[in-house]
Structure formats: C-alpha cells, structure tokens
Chain A
Amino acid sequence: GAVVSQHPSRVICKSGTSVKIECRSLDFQATTMFWYRQFPKQSLMLMATSNEGSKATYEQGVEKDKFLINHASLTLSTLTVTSAHPEDSSFYICSASEAEKFSDTQYFGPGTRLTVL
C-alpha cells in the first residue's frame, strides 16, 4: 500500500530557530500533499495544500511567511517553521494521495512532534 514517511519524528529546538520537516511518498507519486497541525486531543487542522511545482495554498489564518512550504518533486514536500516560538509546539502531520490513480484517498505520514523551548 501507499506509504508516507516524515522526518524527523521528533525535534526540540530553541526559540527563534527554524525547523524543517520532510514529507516523502515512498512508493507513489504525489502531485498534492497536505500539511496538518494537531494539538493534543484535538482534530487535524489543515494548514496548507502543497502543489508540486507551484506555490502552496494556505488556509485562512496560517502565516505563509512563517510556515514555508516547498514541493520540489513528486515525492517530497517540506515544511519549514521559521523563527519558531513555544506556541508553534505541536504535532505536524503530512498526507498525500496517489497522483497516478486519481485517488481520493489520503495517506498520512507518522507525524513530527515539535517542541520549541
């Protein structure tokens, strides 16, 4: 089945630093990937839709200059949290769907737990 990986799984950083999270589709191509944020005991909040070769589409209220998204290939999207602050601490999850199959199904990565000190 379709597998999505994320790296790193956990990251702890100091306030003011930037953190990059990678999302890869391992055995399929994904023209579209999605980035979510999840707070404890809450639902998945879509941050942005990442489109290969074009600019990401951000949801209302998400700062595009703070959460930089790059989708340079059909198997890799990156999320960079710039100048991270403690309030950016969260569980970040990506998802992707199989471009070749025109599939509605989204497969999720294992998530990245970010802690900003």
Chain B
Amino acid sequence: DADVTQTPRNRITKTGKRIMLECSQTKGHDRMYWYRQDPGLGLQLIYYSFDVKDINKGEISDGYSVSRQAQAKFSLSLESAIPNQTALYFCATSDWEGSGGDTGELFFGEGSRLTVL
C-alpha cells in the first residue's frame, strides 16, 4: 500500500459542483501539502499545513479550501468547480529535518486527475 494515498484518482465533474479530494498518509509526517500540475507550468502550491491547527495559503489558493482533520488526513475542496481547475492534483508530505526552513524531501501521492466540464 502507498504511504500517501489520494482519493479519488480520477474525477469528472461539471462546472459549479463541489468537489473534495482526500489525502491520507501513514508516514507519520506533520507537514502536508496540496500541489496542482498543469502542462508546462510545473507544480504549483495550493495550500500547506504544518500540523493539525496550522493552515497556510500557497501560490494559487483562490477557489480552493482545505481541512486538516488529523495528522494523517488533509483534504482539498473546490467549493464551486470551474473548467480552469482541470488539472492533476498531488498531495505530499514531509518531515521537518531542522531549523532554517523546510529541507525535508517531499513524498507524493499518486495524484488525482480532475476534469471540470
């Protein structure tokens, strides 16, 4: 079983629908992230959380919200999906390795491909 699990893996939905992508991890890491990948744009950070009570916006948080239900669970919601949110979404975790910033490597889930029609 994967250490970082995302559900659903694929989803097709319509404009205006509410969508939730879920992520769970068994690595015991405190830090969790949601990234979005669009062709030619690389990975862009949507939201991140350093523990259960900590939520931070990334580069492209507009139109998204998150919930950190437990150390192991971090879900991403699209309250009202729009076509330009069609993308591949990755959840990732990391373990803080020391002071001076985030030096821990990321461990990625398998990705959730979302299509908004």
Q: A and B from one assembly?
A: no
